[in-house]
Amino acid sequence: MLPLYITLHMLMLVLSTLCNYGIYILARIAWQHSRMLATIVGGWQIEKGKGKKNDMKAKFETAISTRHGLAACSVSVVMLLLALPGGGGFWPLLVVSCIPFLVCSSRGTVRQSFSFGLFFGTLHFLVQLYWIVFVVGHYGGLPIYFSVPVLLLLCFYLALYFAVLALFIRASVKRFSPFLCLWCIPAAWVAMDYLRGVVFSGFPWMDIGYATVTVSLFMQSADIWGHHGLTFLILLVNTFFALCLLLRKNLERKAVLAGIVTVLLLMSLGYSCWRMQDIEEQTSRADFLNVGVVQGNIAQGQKWKPKRQGATVETYLRQSALLMRSAPKPDLLLWPETALPFYPIGHPLLLPISRFLQDEGVMLLSGSPWYERAGMTTEGFKLYNSSLLFSAGGQIVHRTSKSHLVPFGEYVPLRRYLPFIAPLVETVGTFIPGQVADPPACKNSRIGVLICFESIFPDISRKWVDAGANLLVNITNDAWYGESSAPHQTLAMTRMRAVETRRSIVRSANTGFSAFIDPLGYVQEESPLFVNWQAAGKVVLMEQRTFFVRWGFAFPLLCLILTLLASLVLLRKRHTT
């Protein structure tokens, strides 16, 4: 018998679908019985003298003005903002959020569709990434006349993927059957998301699939096809409704499309229900590790001052001492990124840390900067953003370094080829990336370490688990983001990593959100933002490797291949025409 929460989630899904379908029916009635109302709401201008209404050619009986197309794109941006974590998390909007963008992209001219995609992407990423101006300007020390253009250029670049996608949507709707459109458009969306996540080091921030973390039942299939598969399902539903608008009265084709979408959704939900019960049974038999998390809440503007280093270490030791008196008593303490605000080699502040670990008999994993001498000159140093594992005797026994660095934060891309940019970014560090190698071990655990925003990259956590990690930790410093939406977004993406790899994730942040996340993606315990906080908990250690861990980005690569093949067919049809 299904657990009660699964039944409730399914009921919510059914109610949401019925509500959205009711809205769709009302919109169709308004369209069919009032051309004036349709023109006001949707911006469509009905043309006269066209052909069959039940044929796919009837999709081009209407034209859209640029103004109304931009308004439709704005509606999609607002609905996505309200649906995604950090902006509201109202997941039922996912079913209809992309419809205005899909429809207006298919209605415009080539120039219009490209403009719609560019506008939609730029606006979408502006509302998701607005906090970059604060981070780069306030903490990076970069002037406002540089930080604002950096945000705009980043959003413009990311929007180019949507501009190309809009052209593909237009061509597909014009030349493909509804059946092919139903598959090709979601596949193309996933392909663009995948490319955006890997090209130029990648920036896969808040893809649409992450919105499913607010309803855990929906995201359980991510251990097969990753969050990209969830994006595909969301776009499949949106594409179906968009095609229903375009097909008008062709009920036979609508029924076929509805059957395909329903079968795929039921298969995904059925697998999720079974997988949740399976994982619960596995976790009940699995080993565990007692982990204590410390959130020091050290002000970002104070932690690197030499006079504050001693007070910072005292804060972490004091909170750690409280954890050692709690139940369960931790086997491992976890401190956040750069909790040690100094280079530890030979530093005197390591002595109280070593004494504490010896007295308590506990191991410590902490973030810290690190350096290695690269030559005989004083400037020959390699800098790393690292995590250090201390034994119960107080010695450093393992070090891992951040493998995916932050552009313009930890290094400047193409600095050698862009010398004119150096005066603008003098405060930006020059760190060396590390590698995913053998996971550090603590008792029966093998730990994969995600430093800072590495938790947004599925492939890094996948590589750690494939290398043998049965526990993932994310040490980070979210003080950079202030009270923005970014901490909520990073927590949501970290939860998805737990489901994809079926590993517990323990998150230690300087200012929050620190959290214990189980292999189902549930947050077992979570800290507030900007408070001193510590907690200990039993963390499940899973050993099974998921399909996603074994095969990685197989699904988005398949979508990319399908998109390329469809593009070749579209080009051939265009030349033939």
> With 0-12 CB in 10 A as exposed, 13-18 as middle and 19+ as buried, what is 157?
middle
Are the C-beta atoms of 66 and 105 separated by less than 8 Å? no
Of the residues 184, 402, 442, 500, which is catalytic? 402
Give start and end residues of each alpha helix (H) in 34-109.
35-42, 66-83, 99-107
Note the Cα 478 to chain centre separation in Å: 15
Are the C-beta atoms of 388 and 371 separated by less than 8 Å? no
402 assigned to active site: yes
Note the Cα 507 to chain centre separation in Å: 16
* Residue 276 dihedral angles phi and psi, to the nearest 5°: -65, -45
CA–CA dist 536, 259 (Å, integer):
48
559 assigned to active site: no
Q: What is the pairing mode between strands 332-334 and 381-390?
A: unpaired
**Which tokens hold the place of 231?**
């994006």
Q: Is 71 left (phi over 0), alpha (psi -120 to 50) or beta?
A: alpha
* Residue 291 dihedral angles phi and psi, to the nearest 5°: -120, 135
Of the residues 155, 184, 303, 337, which is catalytic? 337
CA angle 365, 369, 375 (to 5 degrees): 130
155 assigned to active site: no
CA angle 506, 488, 543 (to 5 degrees): 30
Of the residues 155, 184, 244, 452, which is catalytic? 452
DSSP 369: E
Catalytic residues: 337, 402, 452
